[in-house]
Structures are given as structure tokens and as C-alpha cells.
Amino acid sequence: HPDHLFEYEKLSQYVDSQQEQYVQTLRDWVAVESDSSDVLRRPDCHRMMNMTAEKLRVMGGMVDLVDIGIQELPDGKTVALPKVVTAQFGSDQRKQTVCVYGHVDVQPAKLEDGWATDPYNLTDINGNLYGRGASDNKAPVLAWIHTVEAYQALNIELPVNVKFVIEGMEETGSNGLDAMITAQRDTFFSDVDYIIISDCGWLSRRPALTYGTRGNCYFFAEVEGPKQDLHSGVYGGTVIEPMTDLIGILDTLISPSGQILIPGIREAVAPLSDQEWKMYQDIEFDIDNFKSKIGVSQLMYNNKVDLLAHRWRYPTVTIHGIDGAFSGPGTKTVIPAKVIAKFSIRQVPDMDPAMVKKQVTDYLNSVFAKRKSPNKLKVTMVIGAKPWLAETKHPLYEAGKAAVKRVFNVEPDLIREGGTIPIAKTFEDVTGKSIIMLPIGGFDDGLHSQNEKMSRYNYIEGTKLFIAYLHEVAHLKKD
């Protein structure tokens, strides 16, 4: 391991010297409302992809903006998907080639949701940089770009070839990306040795390496009744109300104690092994801190192992919202004519999204039939993302431990992520290459929440971690 050749101190000092510039670039990126779930914001998504491509082009990368086609909307209309940015730095066949995946689309956010600051104006409060997408996933993507830039700026040869795949639809299920990866398997991906993803966070203040993500099956359940909304005084009591039907069937998905009631779901889940139990038992996790951070007095479980297991390796049902329901201020006395529930089920090994689609659809149809309602129920699955699980004994994880040790002087936690990176399993299946998830987000970054943030500390030290990681990967045995 020729450590004497690794100019880590120089690179690290360079990163420190660029901090204000890095924060400004993040501010420019956060200012783009690249919400992939709202088609009205699609021009911003296109702009975000162009900005990403331009940044990589200026650095001399071989950059492509790959057209991945169109998205079909529920009303039958179509809209162009944001292009995928691919880039390449170096093509030395003697070196390892890593492919960094990330996304620059974001979840929706409005000041009225309860943000303390404008979500699209990156605001520094005590070293925390608040803004939508700051942690998920714009700062980590920039940290990877700055990693390459740092080597370039100091005229230090990159220890590995670095490729990028940056998309703009992750938050909506990575539409179109599977097909693009399959199409480029023997071209762009042919010389890739490893895939690195930094789209998740630590469990505590201790750095972590992530070896699993849950998948997600996202459903729409539509109940349609009268031809238009009705006065609840004039018609209430005479019509069978779509909202009552919908709430009735939603209430059969999960019990108050968190048991999923859809037949077949629990049976498919791989049992918790003794080894896993021991791993969870050994992880430091402060339950009181977790509770106070999210502002709850009681959780589903009182012990660490159950809490971690239910965050990471058991499925769950979440009801997200009801389209068509009255939700404005005031007291509108309406019977909504058509309501669409949006709910999702996080997926874990050995669940299969195709099977879950059938289980959920059959179950809801049977529960609805028992109501003998004249209304119409339509269930559709709009995202079917698989879970992903890695072998932690893989050298990629040993490299991760060494890099964390160099930068933070501690051993990382080995953790799983409760969220979903829809493309992770596809990357592995199509390219046959191993993935590591190397998070730099803080445990309290508030992803998808009000007041999402990235700390300066994690942004800057995270960049150093990536610099150190490339050095470690360079010394893995080439297959």
C-alpha cells in the first residue's frame, strides 16, 4: 500500500481552502427547484441536468446528456424525462474504474409547509446549510465532483478512472434509467469495476458504510362515485361517499401496532438471523435522542434491535396523502366525488414487487367488494423498486473502513438504509458489478422534511472521505 505516494494532506488542505466556493456552488444548485414529482417544474429539472453537465464539461470530462425518452402521465399526456448525465475522467486501463451514481432532483418543498427559511435559498445557520436537496442529494454529488476537481487543481493524478451517472428522476422512481443502463451495459458500463452511491445518511455522529436499502412499491387507490362534488347537507346520508369507502379500505392495510394485514406480505420477509441480531445489538443508537429529534414521546418499539430492524429490514406501510380530499383552510362542506389515496410499502428481501402488486390489488379489491359499494375502485402500482443488500465482507467495505479511519480516525458503523435507491438493484443485476454506499449525510439532515440541511462539516469532511476512498479503491486487486 504505497501510502507515501498519497498526498492526502495537500488534498485535504486544498478542500478546506475551497469551502466558500463549494458552499456557493451548492447554493446555485439548491436555487433550482428540480422537483421531479411536479411536471410543472420539469423545465427546472432540465436546467438542473444542463448545469450538472456543464460543471463536468468545464472540468474536461467526456460528458453526455443521454435522452431517456418520455414519461406518461396519469391523464394520458406525456412529458420529456430529464436527460441523464454521464461523464468520464480518465481511461487508463491499468487503473480501477469507479462509477459514481447520484441524483439532482429533489422532493417537493414550500415555505408554507413550515420551513424556517426559503427552501430554495441555501441559508447558513451555525454551520448548517438549510435548503431542499442540500443533503438529498446535491451536496454529496458536488462533493464527488469536487473530489475529482481537487486532484486536478493540484495536478495530482487521479488514482482511478472516475465515471459519473447523474439522474433527475430518483425521487419519482428513476423512470427510464433501467433501460438506459441496460442499453449502455456493453459501452459506458463495460469497463466499470465498482459502483459507488452516496445518497443516504449516517445513523449517528459516527461515519457509516451502508450495505442495504429497502425498495418501495408505491400505489394509487382511486375511488370514484358521483359525477361531481356534492353539498354534504343536501346529499349527505343519501349517497355512498367515496371518501368513506377509501378510508375504510385504507384502514385494513396495517394494524395500530404496525402489523401489515395484507395476506402474504409478512410471510415473504427473510427472517432476522442471530448474526444480524448481534450486529444490531452492537451498534450505538440513542433511542431518546432519536425520539426527541423527531418530536415523539413513544415509538412502535422500545428496544434498539426492534427499532433498527423495523427501520431497515422489515416492510412497512405508509399512507402519504389523498388527492381530491378537501384540505384547504376553512370549513368547506363538500362530498368529494373522486379521491385517490397514495400509499407505499417499503420492500425488503425476499419480497418481490410484482408479487406485492398482486397481493395488494387482490386484497383491496376483496375488502372493497365486502362493502357492497356502487363506487368504483381502481388500484395501480406506480413505482416498484426492489431492495438491495450487499456482502459487507467485500473489499469495497474494507476500503471504506480504511478511508473513514484516515479522515475521521474512527471505525465506521455498518448500517442499512430504510429509504430506497430505486436503481441500486438494477445496477448490480445489469452490470454484474458490486456496489458500496458511502454516505456523508448527517443523521439529522431531515431528508424529505421541512428544514432539510447539510452541515458544512459533513460536506467538507465528506469530500475528504471521497478523496481518501479513491486512494483505497486504487489499491484493490483488479479482477
Ligand X SMILES: C[C@H](N)C(=O)N[C@@H](Cc1c[nH]cn1)C(=O)O
Mind telling me the catalytic residues?
A: 105, 170
218 in contact with ligand X (CB under 6 A): yes
**Helix axes of 19-30 and 8-17: crossing angle, nearest 10 degrees:** 60
75 in a known ligand binding site = no
Is 103 annotated to bind ligand?
yes
Contact 341, 250 (CB under 8 A): yes
**Partner residues linked to 316 by β-bridges:** 346
| 165 vs 221 by CB, closer to Zn ion | 165
Select from 30, 49, 200, 396 the one that contacts ligand X (CB under 6 A). 200
Query: Quick one: which of 171, 193, 452, 461 contacts ligand X (CB under 6 A)?
Result: 171
269 binds ligand X per the rule CB under 6 A: no
H/E segment holding residue 186: none
Residues 375, 245: contact at Cβ < 8 Å?
yes
475 is in an annotated binding site: no
Strand partners, 201: 441
> Using alpha carbons only, how large is the chain's radius of gyration in Å?
23
Closer CB to ligand X, 311 or 471, in the complex: 311
Choose the stretch contacting ligand X; rule: CB under 6 A; options: 235-243, 283-291, 420-428, 459-467: 420-428
CB of 84 to ligand X, least distance (A): 16
Question: What's the distance, Cα to Cα, between the start and end of the chain in Å?
Answer: 18
391 is in an annotated binding site: no
Q: Which is nearer to Zn ion, 44 or 199 (CB)?
A: 199
Q: Is 35 in the site for ligand X (CB under 6 A)?
A: no
| Least distance between ligand X and beta carbon 37 (Å) | 9
| Residues composing the chain | 479
452 contributes a contact to ligand X by CB under 6 A: no
**Rounded least distance, CB 138 to Zn ion, Å:** 10
**Which of positions 370-409 make contact with ligand X (CB under 6 A)?**
383, 385
* CA atoms of 151 and 134, how far apart (whole Å): 24
**Which residue's CB comes closest to ligand X?**
419
Q: Is 173 in the site for ligand X (CB under 6 A)?
A: yes
With binding defined as CB under 5 A, does residue 137 bind Zn ion? yes
Spatial CB neighbours of 112, under 8 Å, sequence gap ≥ 6: none
Q: Was 136 annotated as part of a binding site? A: yes
**Cα–Cα distance between 461 and 440 in angstroms, integer?**
8
Q: Under DSSP, is residue 73 helix (H, G, I), strand (E, B) or coil?
A: coil
Name residues contacting ligand X, limited to 127-156 (CB under 6 A).
136-137
200 binds, among ligand X, Zn ion, none (CB under 5 to 8 A by kind): ligand X
Q: Contact, 440 vs 462, CB < 8 A? A: yes
* 136 lies in the site for Zn ion, by CB under 5 A: yes
Place of cell 452490470: 431
Which residue among 33, 105, 193, 199 contacts Zn ion (CB under 5 A)?
199
Three-state SS at 423? coil
Please report, for residues 57, 110, 165, 233, the alpha-carbon distance to residue 39 in angstroms, rounded to integers and kept in the order given. 27, 16, 22, 36
Query: Phi and psi at residue 448, in whole multiples of 5°?
Result: 70, 0
Q: Is 458 in the site for ligand X (CB under 6 A)?
A: no
**Annotated binding residues for Mn(2+), as ranges?**
103, 136, 171, 199, 448
Give the binding site for Zn ion (CB under 5 A).
Answer: 136-137, 199
Give the binding site for ligand X (CB under 6 A).
Answer: 136-137, 170-171, 173, 199-200, 216, 218, 383, 385, 417, 419-422, 447
